A and B are shown apart, each in its own frame.
Chain A
Amino acid sequence: EDQVTQSPEALRLQEGESSSLNCSYTVSGLRGLFWYRQDPGKGPEFLFTLYSAGEEKEKERLKATLTKKESFLHITAPKPEDSATYLCAVRLGAQKLVFGQGTRLTINP
């Protein structure tokens, strides 16, 4: 069965304290791995797409990496405004996305 598992479920950091979020997947025929950010009461907001092992994408304090079985979202020197739930999803077949449960990230000032 195709599965996407994110860890940890919740993470609390101090401002400036770097860390990583994990997304592991067991799918047949991966056709893209996506990271989204979701703020309370809002829809998910697209961050990155990764397609092949070894690929990396960066945006401000965030960097996403991909291996054959997992992806990491590295956050460097985070700020309180980076607090959100981060969702990982894998694309199966033509367009279907399967999402993980998310990691709730809190950055304390």
Chain B
Amino acid sequence: DAGVIQSPRHEVTEMGQEVTLRCKPISGHDYLFWYRQTMMRGLELLIYFNNNVPIDDSGMPEDRFSAKMPNASFSTLKIQPSEPRDSAVYFCASSFMSGGAETQYFGPGTRLLVL
């Protein structure tokens, strides 16, 4: 398997622009997670889905952030409008819940810089 795929790998944009990050989870996985990593706050969970349904979005910082999962093989995280404080590395991860044991597998991340 190719693992979790994220695009783009790097994104530079200007404040106020819309940013869309994309993720393809590992085939057969039924959970998908979006994380943000910064030096100050470390790795934080933003939102996660189970079978394409959002389960917990309590980590989404504000209404400028939205996430969708239209099908089992694709998810997007959108920031509109973007702000410099959104600069971070955004990771997507997926997992398969089996017998109570699960491991989250992470993608390579999208490094976002908002100027």
Contacts and interface: CB of A to CB of B under 8 A. Distances in A.
Contacts of B107: 43
Contacts, number: 48
A104 B12 CA distance: 27
Contact of B43 (A49, A94, A99): A99
Interface stretch (B62-70, B76-84, B95-103): B95-103
B106 interface: yes
Contact of B102 (A41, A45, A89, A95): A95
A10 B106 CA distance: 23
B103 A96 contact: no
Interface residues of B, number: 24
Contacts of A89: 43
Given A87-B43, A95-B50, A45 B106 contact: yes
Please indicate which of the listed interface residues A34, A95, A97, A99 has the most CB atoms of chain B within 10 Å of its own CB: A95
Nearest to A44: B106
A102 B91 CA distance: 16
B14 to A, nearest CB: 24
A101 interface: yes
B106 A96 contact: no
B104 A46 contact: yes
Nearest to B107: A43
B34 interface: no
Contact of A95 (B4, B48, B109): B48
Interface of A: 34, 36, 41-46, 49, 87, 89, 94-102
